[in-house]
Each structure stands twice: as C-alpha cells, then as structure tokens.
C-alpha cells in the first residue's frame, strides 16, 4: 500500500503526554485511522499492549503498514461502540488508557470515491464502515423533508436547512441524486446570493451533517465513552479529541457527570465519597500556532482528558 493518502495526527504530543502512559499497561486506540496516535503509544510501551479499533478496513490496512515494526498491537475491525463486548471476549476487563480521535481521517476525505468531500465528484456514500448498507445516497433520496431539515439543523447547525431540504426534495422528484457534485449544485441553487457570498463552502455544514447521520456518530460515541469509563483502571486516563461542537458537548457532559458529586445548594453535607473521575485539564486544549501552520485540519480540534479516581 502506498502513502498516497496521508493522515497527520492532531494534538499528538498533548494527547500522548496527558495519557501518562504506563510502559506495561493496556491501551486502546478507539479510532485507529492512519495509526499516528497508536504509533506514539507503542513507542512508549515495553511489555504493554495496544488494541486498535476501526470500522474501516482500509484504515486498518493503512495502520498495519505504518505499525509493522510492532508486535504488541491487536487490530480490531469493528465499531468502537462494541468495545466492551469485544475486549471482554478477549479476556480484557481493565484498561489503563483510551484515546479517541473523532471525525473523518484525512485519507477518507482525500479518497474521492468515499464521498465524504464536496471537493470531488463521486457517488454519495460517506460510510465509514464499507460493509454498512445505509449511505448518504439513501438518506438524501429516501428521508422525508422534515427529517432532512432536522439532520441539517442539528448535526450541521445549518441555519438554511429548510431551503436546502426543499431543494433536495424538488431535485429528487425529477431523478435520484447520485453524486456529491449533484448535491453541491442543489445546495448552491437553493441558497440566496447573500449566503453564497459568505466565506467558506456553502455545502460544508450539509456534508458534515450527512456524515454524522449516516454513521450515527454522536450516539455511538456517547455509548462507547460510557463503556470506556466503566472499563478504565484506577488512575487510568481517557483522552478525547473532537472536531465538532456536538461531539465536544457530549464529552464534556459525560466527563462532568462522572467528576462532580451534586449536592443540593445550602445543605450542610460532609462529602465522604470521591467522584468516579477527575478532570485532568480543567479547560479544553486546542492546537498550537505551530501545529496550525502545518495542519489546517487541527483548527477545530479540542482535547479533553479525564482520570479515574482510586
């Protein structure tokens, strides 16, 4: 396999440093991708083990090429929402650290036929798991106008969701919408000039919303994160890198739920128990100017890290 499609890991040093890796520990890369974060973890392990999850078989093959010099990694071709079941079946019940690098890998965006990008003309796909039967084509051509509006508004925070959804319905009544460029043209025709004149691609938020909906990313992430917290060893850590405000909100909420003991205001209570988690960084960590200068995709990245109390 060639290096035609590269993936540059985001917030690599910050995430690895804050994981506080035990050389003999057990770690899980929940989003193996191109293997950048996994490589950095493996370099710090002596007798430790790493499990790498990815539902995209292409990503696993890419990672295997990058990590061929390591023999202490197990590759798992599955959605990370199955983490507890799969690891338990492998007799792994306690983990010293998890890392998530959410969103789409650079090479997924850069391979035209995957249909993630509005910059290439390709079939409407957007499936992270190529074995899945439901794609962006199904959503665009089969969902009701109200469901499309909800998806664009909720997952893409698209303020012009109604206009875009109406344009999609009108176009598909003539013929099915099959390609990314067909969809881009429909979006452009649906929007007034004052919107089109704004900075940024007019299809960006729509494509983001469709990708999240096709892969059920938010629900899957929350389920997986709660399983990771359950499996985490005392003093173990979870590092989460998000690229979308909704993902970050889920992470922040779940971490907070487990790191605070809520006591009714004004009640004279002596706290005798510790919360399940401790927040390692009180404030979200973002990419440095140096990283942004070499990797523009780090612009929206946010890192949060928690540790399980003893």
Each residue of 35-90: pLDDT tens digit? 999 999 999 999 999 999 999 998 999 999 999 999 999 999 999 999 999 999 99
pLDDT per residue as tens digits for the range 249-294? 999 999 999 998 766 566 565 555 789 999 999 899 999 999 999 8
For residue 99, the 8-state DSSP code is E
pLDDT band at 103 (very low <50, low <70, confident <90, very high): confident
Asked if residues 130 and 113 have their Cβ atoms less than 8 Å apart, the reply is no
pLDDT per residue as tens digits for the range 288-301? 999 999 888 889 99
The segment(s) of the chain belonging to CATH 3.40.50.150 are 12-105+217-308
Mean pLDDT, to the nearest integer, of 124-147?
A: 96
Instruction: For domain 133-214, give the CATH number.
Output: 1.10.150.170
DSSP 3-state of 54:
coil
Q: Any idea which fold 12-105+217-308 has?
A: Rossmann fold (3.40.50)
User: Alpha-carbon distance 116 to 87, whole Å?
Assistant: 30
CA 186 distance to own-chain centroid: 27
> Count of CB atoms within 10 A of residue 42's CB?
22
pLDDT per residue as tens digits for the range 200-226? 899 999 999 999 999 999 999 999 999
Structure confidence at residue 271 (pLDDT): 57
User: Alpha-carbon distance 302 to 287, whole Å?
Assistant: 8
Structure confidence at residue 215 (pLDDT): 94
| Bridge partner list, 95 | 232
Cα end-to-end span (Å), the chain: 44
Structure confidence at residue 30 (pLDDT): 98
Structure confidence at residue 146 (pLDDT): 98
User: Alpha-carbon distance 131 to 92, whole Å?
Assistant: 27
Structure confidence at residue 295 (pLDDT): 85
Mean pLDDT, to the nearest integer, of 11-39?
A: 96
| Bridge partner list, 278 | 307
Structure confidence at residue 15 (pLDDT): 96
Element (H, E) at 225: helix 217-231
For residue 3, is pLDDT > 50? no
Asked if residues 11 and 303 have their Cβ atoms less than 8 Å apart, the reply is yes
The size of the chain, in residues, is 310
User: Alpha-carbon distance 5 to 233, whole Å?
Assistant: 36
Nearest in space to 18 (alpha carbons), one of 300, 307, 243, 255 = 307
How buried is 166 (Cβ within 10 angstroms: 0-12 exposed, 13-18 middle, 19+ buried)? middle
User: Alpha-carbon distance 247 to 304, whole Å?
Assistant: 11
For residue 21, is pLDDT > 80? yes
Element (H, E) at 76: strand 73-76
The segment(s) of the chain belonging to CATH 1.10.150.170 are 133-214
Asked if residues 183 and 175 have their Cβ atoms less than 8 Å apart, the reply is no
User: Alpha-carbon distance 92 to 191, whole Å?
Assistant: 52
For residue 6, is pLDDT > 60? no
Instruction: Report the mean per-residue pLDDT for the chain.
Output: 92
SS (H, E, C) 262-280: CCCCCCCCCCCCCCCEEEC
């Amino acid at each position: 396999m060639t290096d035609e499609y590269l993936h540059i890991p985001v917030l690599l040093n910050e995430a690895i440093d804050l994981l506080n890796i035990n050389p003999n520990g057990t770690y899980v890369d929940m989003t193996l991708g191109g293997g950048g974060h996994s490589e950095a973890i493996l370099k710090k392990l002596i007798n430790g083990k790493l499990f790498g999850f990815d539902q995209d078989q292409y990503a696993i093959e890419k990672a295997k090429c990058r990590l061929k010099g390591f023999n202490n990694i197990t590759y798992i071709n599955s959605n990370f929402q199955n983490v507890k079941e799969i690891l338990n079946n492998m007799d792994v019940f306690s983990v010293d650290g998890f890392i998530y690098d959410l969103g789409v890998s650079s090479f997924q965006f850069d391979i035209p036929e995957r249909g993630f990008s509005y910059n290439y003309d390709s079939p409407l796909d957007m499936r992270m798991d190529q074995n899945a039967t439901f794609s962006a084509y199904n959503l665009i051509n089969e969902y009701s106008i109200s469901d499309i509006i909800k998806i664009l508004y909720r997952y893409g925070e698209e303020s012009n969701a109604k206009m875009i959804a109406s344009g999609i319905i009108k176009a598909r009544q003539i013929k099915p919408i099959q390609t990314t460029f067909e969809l881009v043209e429909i979006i452009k025709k649906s929007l007034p000039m004052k919107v089109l004149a704004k900075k940024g691609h007019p299809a960006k938020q729509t494509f983001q919303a469709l990708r999240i909906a096709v892969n059920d990313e938010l629900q899957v992430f929350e389920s997986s994160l709660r399983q990771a917290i359950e499996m985490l060893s005392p003093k173990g850590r979870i590092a989460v890198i998000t690229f979308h405000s909704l993902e970050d909100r889920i992470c922040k909420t779940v971490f907070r739920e487990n790191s605070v003991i809520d006591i009714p205001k004004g009640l004279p209570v002596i706290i005798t128990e510790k919360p399940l988690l401790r927040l390692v960084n009180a404030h979200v960590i973002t990419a440095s100017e140096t990283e942004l200068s070499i990797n523009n995709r780090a612009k929206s990245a946010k890192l949060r890290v928690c540790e399980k109390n003893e």
